[in-house]
Amino acid sequence: MSASVSDSIVAELVDVAKNVVRMCEQAGADAAEVLVRDGSELTVKIRMGQPELVQEAGSRAVGLRVFKHGRRAVTYTSDLRSRSLESFVAESVALAALAEPDEHGRLPDPDELARELPELDLYDEAVARVDAAWAMKQCIAGEKAALGFDRRVTNSEGATWSRTVGATAFATSGGFAGGYRGSYASFYVEPLCDDPTDPANPKKRNGYWWTADRFLERLEDPEAIGKEAARRTVATLGSKKIATQECPIVFDPEVGRSIVGTVFSVANGSAFWRKSTYMLDREGTQVASKLVTIVDDPLIPRAPGSRPFDGDGLPTRKNMLVRDGVLETVLCDVYSARKLGRKSTGSAGRGVGGNPGPTTSNLILSPGTGTRAELLKDTGRGLYVTSMMGFGFNPVTGDFSRGAQGFWIEDGELTFPVSEITVSCNFDDLLKRIDRVAEDLDMRSSTACATFRVSHMTVAGTSG
């Protein structure tokens, strides 16, 4: 199976999208928009040196949003034969006539649509050429390095190499038509250790590490990933609870990105018009520390979340959600913007079978100054959080509480590992208490941040 995605394939998909739009108009639709996606995925996993999964699959699908008399229907199909598409379109138009009317549910105004698409360099042919045999060798090398790092690494949840390549095309009866291609590859290793700390209650400790990028040459070496995964796993041995207390919390970028993502969950047009966020009516006010600037930027070349147009066919643009702690913008698609009486921020996302909705591209907490080591030294005493579990967050009240593990900081150094605790704080207070942001921005994923510190949160551990 060839995974290569050429410019001619993108052009072919754009032609399919435009053709389906014409079919909709001929079938009596007032307006229509068509999303076409073509892609392939490869996943290879080994565990303890033996193949556990080799999976390669390709798909091509058409998603349609059709409008008639102020009503709309959303449908999709993976059958792209001409006769099948004609039946699909006719059924979709008929379905739209049965829907409830919605004054806000209509296409963007033509003057809002993208006219020129920036070249963002999102596709790497080398990723597309990777086959299962090569990926298997990467997995074997990474896991072997992990198992050989320390005799206490006795088992493994495996090593996984994955890639996705594909193309997206979009066309609307309002006049937009465009497409682009993209690639993304990742490698992940998860070793296991037996923790002998409590023989009466033996536990398994796991850690992990990973690398990911749109370009194959920018992935880290598999042996280096395996060793780092093992180092992180061994470091958790002897984990224990700490006493319930308030203390500074330092968030590793690996978990800090979930905090950044939570900001978007309460600062988007859908949450605002539904009134399901504690940030309602707080635009232009201080919602975080002055050290906090959060930007959503889809125009960064080669970045994981970049894209030249959004799910409504609008041009994408850099949006400043929070500037120096002040809530400046909430991300909107066309529908949520209309519900709020404003304009879209070019932030619509959608799947083939769904309506558009607000989403992020590259959501970044801007880095500060100084290294992680300097931040820890300045902290003196507190908790360094490396992973969180569960999702205890109420977007209406801001109440935030999650299970966590990490390391105790003493005299500015990481000392013993900590687990079986929870960290909690009202999210509004959490953001306002961020008092240090380091410079180590981690851009492996589309939501990114550097190491940062919250001046104090409640840690629930042992009593007494």
Q: What is the DSSP string of 248-296?
A: EEEE-HHHHHHHHHHHHHHSBHHHHHTT--TTTT-TTSB-S-TT--EEE
Q: Look at residue 107 in the predicted model and tell me its pLDDT.
A: 92
Q: Is the pLDDT of residue 464 over 80?
A: no
Q: What's residue 392's pLDDT? A: 87
How far is 61 from 354, CA to CA, in rounded Å?
Answer: 13
Sheet holding 326-327, edge to edge: 326-327, 319-323, 294-296, 363-365, 447-448
- The answer to whether residue 312 scores a pLDDT higher than 60 is yes
Confidence of residue 197 (pLDDT cuts 50, 70, 90): confident
Architecture per CATH, 7-233: 2-Layer Sandwich (3.30)
* Whole-prediction pTM: 0.95
pLDDT value at 282 more than 80:
yes
Q: What is the spatial distance between Cα 225 and Cα 237, in angstroms, rounded to a whole number?
A: 19
- pLDDT band, residue 374 (cuts 50/70/90): very high
Question: Residue 200 — very low, low, confident or very high, per pLDDT cuts 50/70/90?
Answer: low
Q: Give yes or no for a contact between 87 and 62, defined as CB atoms under 8 angstroms apart.
A: no
Nearest in space to 89 (alpha carbons), one of 67, 72, 64, 106: 64
Is pLDDT at 349 greater than 80 in this prediction? Answer: yes
**How many Å is the Cα radius of gyration of the chain?**
24
Question: Alpha-carbon distance 11 to 45, whole Å?
Answer: 34
Question: If pLDDT is split at 50, 70 and 90, which confidence band does 463 have?
Answer: low
Among 101-110, 201-210, 221-230, 340-349, name the one with the lowest average pLDDT.
Answer: 201-210
Please report the sign of the dihedral spanned by the C-alpha atoms of residue 449, residue 452, residue 457, residue 460. Answer: positive
pLDDT at 132 over 60: yes
Sign of CA dihedral 47, 200, 232, 462: positive
pLDDT at residue 1 is higher than 80 = no
Percent of the chain clearing pLDDT 70 (strictly above): 98
Would you give the end-to-end CA distance of the chain in angstroms?
Answer: 62
In the predicted structure, residue 198 carries a pLDDT above the cut 90: no
pLDDT digits (tens, 9 = 90+) for 7-39: 999 999 999 999 999 999 999 999 999 999 999
Share of the chain above pLDDT 90, in %: 93
Q: Supply the pLDDT for residue 462.
A: 79
- pLDDT grade for 204, boundaries at 50, 70 and 90: confident
Mean pLDDT of 226-239: 95
Question: Which residue spans of the chain are classified as CATH 3.30.2290.10?
Answer: 7-233
Q: Is the pLDDT of residue 161 over 70?
A: yes
| Mean pLDDT value of segment 351-370 | 96
Dihedral angle over CA of 86, 88, 91, 94, nearest 10: -70
DSSP characters for 98-109?
TSPP-TT-SPPP
Average confidence score pLDDT of the chain: 95
